Amino acid sequence: MKNKTGIILACLAALVTLIGFLFFEIRKVPDVIWLDKNDFEDEEPQGYYVFKESIIRYFEGVDYEISKEFRDTTTTNGLYIHILGNYDDTSMDTLMDLIGKGNDVLLLAKTLPYQLKDTLSMGYSTSYDYQEQFNFNFKNDSLKLDSTIIYRFVDREFQYDQTEAYQLLDPTYNYNDNTILVEANDSLVLLARFQIGEGTLYYHMIPSVFHNHSYRQPQMFDYMERMLSHFDPAYIVFLRTLNGIKPPPAEHPLQFIMSSKPLKTAYFLFVLGLLSYAIFGGKRRQKAIPITDKNENTSLEYIDTVSQLFYQQNKHEKLVAHMRNIFYHKMEQKYFLKKDHPTYVETLAKKSKIPQSDLQYIIDRFRNLEEKYTFREDQLVTLNRRLEQIYQFINQKSNS
């Protein structure tokens, strides 16, 4: 009997080992925290420590500080550097006032906010793309690098050619030769300069090119030096926030366990013991009596549940249909405009002050749904972000 039990245990162990080799891949993963916190002191791959140190060394002898909050100032000829986060509710009027006093601001951002479009009254919009790399170089011949930089995105194991979504400035009008400083992908704009009062705004798209890991591509140091040649500051301020950035999520407990060998070993032994108990000692003499929870189904919880279900099942078209219904309902409630209005986009643009091109983009995606278009995940994310920007813009207009 004992021999039979031993044979069964050995066979089960061999089966578990075989399944592990078939379904799991064992490889060494870099022991780093892959999280973009918009932090100039962060030395992890997606931090901006190397970016900050490069600026300090380039302007050696110039006073600098890292400020956690925006402070009004009457001083001039300063260089303020800020990374515009996803949850940054920075007032563009406050930022423009800072520049107008005679300071330069280098603003790094993934997108071009509606507020900035209104403030500048410029014909700039964003061009969205989803690729493994992009190229860029200075427009001015005196600054142009010998070879165009081909920036390649990396994954969490520092392997190149990782597909990423990014946006670049798309100049609708060519105002003057000094506005565009760095061109990308031949006709788009990575870095632009805008004169505002006595100061200047430098707007740089794709902040990830300044992540710590980006400097593994040698040309990035040359790019940094030539970009910084546009500035001659009396002092430098690294702004972690101008008004408030949502704090990054805390580290998951499992990440902490996996970072320690003893804890990782204990964790796997616990899982193995739990699995063994489930196989050999998990039988019950009597079936457990299930405890039924009280039925709750509010409207918001129902919408969230259905949305998560459609997203997890890759039913993106049904999720887009919900987005469409919500959009038309909100617009009708806010501006008393039905979706079957003959000049719906033009009328809504006049009433809401939202650029007509942005509204047309949303309506075109809804028409794609009616044409049985299949939405990819990145297209769904882009549509959702654009809708959120429109809702935020409307709320800010209502509160002002």
DSSP structure string for 135-160: EEEESSTTT--SS-EEEE-B-TT--B
Asked if residue 345 is part of any domain, the answer here is yes
Looking at the fold, whether 211 and 63 belong to one and the same domain comes out as yes
Looking at the fold, whether 227 and 337 belong to one and the same domain comes out as no
Looking at the fold, whether 234 and 149 belong to one and the same domain comes out as yes
For residue 192, with 0-12 CB atoms within 10 Å meaning exposed, 13-18 middle and 19 or more buried, which class applies?
A: buried
Of the residues 239, 263, 284, the one at which a domain ends: 239
Find tokens 């790399």 and name the residue. 133
Instruction: Provide mean pLDDT across the span 254-262.
Output: 75
Instruction: Provide mean pLDDT across the span 155-159.
Output: 70
Looking at the fold, whether 57 and 195 belong to one and the same domain comes out as yes
Looking at the fold, whether 230 and 345 belong to one and the same domain comes out as no
Looking at the fold, whether 111 and 231 belong to one and the same domain comes out as yes
300 — pLDDT class (breaks 50, 70, 90): very low
Which range marks the domain in which residue 335 is found? 311-399
Question: What tokens were used for 285?
Answer: 């003499």
Look at residue 24 and tell me whether its pLDDT is greater than 60: no
Asked if residue 294 is part of any domain, the answer here is no
The residues near 358 (Cβ < 8 Å, ≥ 6 apart) are: 125, 386, 389, 390
Looking at the fold, whether 221 and 319 belong to one and the same domain comes out as no
DSSP structure string for 301-328: HHHHHHHHHHHHTT-HHHHHHHHHHHHH
Find, among 53, 51, 35, the residue nearest to 209 by Cα: 51
- The better pLDDT of the pair 254, 216 is held by 216
Looking at the fold, whether 330 and 224 belong to one and the same domain comes out as no
Looking at the fold, whether 204 and 340 belong to one and the same domain comes out as no
Asked if residue 113 is part of any domain, the answer here is yes
pLDDT digits (tens, 9 = 90+) for 218-251: 888 999 999 999 999 999 988 875 444 444 455 5
Of the residues 220, 239, 258, the one at which a domain ends: 239
Of the residues 239, 274, 292, the one at which a domain ends: 239
* CATH classification of the domain holding 92: 3.40.50
pLDDT digits (tens, 9 = 90+) for 34-62: 777 788 888 888 889 999 999 999 999 99
Among 8-12, 50-54, 145-149, 280-284, the minimum mean pLDDT is found in 280-284
Instruction: Provide mean pLDDT across the span 140-167.
Output: 81
Looking at the fold, whether 146 and 54 belong to one and the same domain comes out as yes
Asked if residue 204 is part of any domain, the answer here is yes
Asked if residue 252 is part of any domain, the answer here is no
Number of domains in the chain: 2
Per-residue exposure over 15-28, b if at least 16 CB sit within 10 Å of its own CB, e if not: eeeeeeeeeeeeee
Asked if residue 191 is part of any domain, the answer here is yes
Look at residue 94 and tell me whether its pLDDT is greater than 80: no
Looking at the fold, whether 105 and 230 belong to one and the same domain comes out as yes
Asked if residue 366 is part of any domain, the answer here is yes
Asked if residue 248 is part of any domain, the answer here is no
Looking at the fold, whether 319 and 191 belong to one and the same domain comes out as no
In the chain, % of residues over pLDDT 70: 70
